[in-house]
Structure 1
Amino acid sequence: MIVDFRRGRHLPSPLYIGGTAVEVVSSFRYLGVHISDDLTWSKNTSCLIRKAHQRLYFLRRLRRAGLGSSVLTSFYRCVVESVLSSCIIVWHGSCSAAEKKALQRVVKAAQRTVGRSLPTTMDIYTSRCRKRASCIMKDPTHTAHELFVPLPSGRRLRSIKSRTTRLRNSFFPEAVRLLNSGGPL
């Protein structure tokens, strides 16, 4: 896969390994996350939504069998929410509004089936970002520990400068914003 954001897209010369040309692909699945060459998350979110809808069928079957809402909630959290939130801190910040809305539609369908209110994908994303950022801040040996620098007051973190929205919506600047909005460190 070639990630290239230059205006004039020029195809590079083929890369040969062991005498055979390496195939150039537009997207690649790595650890369950679909990464595309333009770094959009549309393929990833559509695959997650399709997989979640397949699992919602089993949730509906369990409701028809007469199981209680606490069991249905546990099933949703283990089977459906785990799919929707896999690697969420990597891709959710850079998703389009339409993709976030489609993800939330799956949660709303599950809410109607379960009969209880369930956490939104944005709630899951913010809680996991905060948790991951606090783990990085506590570990001085982590390579990203220096990105979470407190200001002299000690109440807030120094924000990470970003010129592009791609960087602004990525994990580290977003985690700093979330930690700063959450009150004292």
Structure 2
Amino acid sequence: MQCLVKSYIDNLIALLTKVDTTYIYQIIDALDKCHDKQATVYIMGNGGSAATASHMANDLSVGLKLREIRNFNVQSLSDNTPVCTAIANDIGYENVFYAQLKNKLQPDDLVIALSCSGNSENIVKASQYTKKIGATLVGMTGFDGGELKKISDISFHVNTDNGEYGLVEDVHMILDHIIYSYYIAQKPENKTNYTMR
């Protein structure tokens, strides 16, 4: 047990040391441009990545708004269970994100897509639509990156063996907290106004 725990921690540390911070700066820059244009940030993911999408939406919206740092218009496409299940039931699960973006997504908007494999059919379809509209696509991937890594305007990739879901999702969640902490640091006097979760 101790060997497994230490190995997992060592592997996570090794992945974090390999993170190319250039892509983090690019994501922050894309968020700022979206904010300045009063455009919308859409975030999507399946399973554990859906939970990360929800967490990111929380941090970027209410988390920053309460501190009067940013007022992002953020929507997690994974959050509305009735909408997702209706779309999946009526026209197929591959459309759960695409159908929410169709005829709504604008060129100034930002789409953040999370997929460990980069090949989830519903993520890829919505991402391809994002490219068609001309909105900015941020891909957060793992394993070999799959199709999402290939088509993303900004690719935050965690290079792991296939199946290393936990490690990939851990690094994706840490990315969210890095971005959130960056914005918090822009207004240090607000740090003591609210307790961190």
Same fold (TM over 0.5): no
The TM-score normalised by the length of structure 2 is: 0.23
Greater strand percent: which structure? 2
Larger radius of gyration: 1
The TM-score normalised by the length of structure 1 is: 0.24
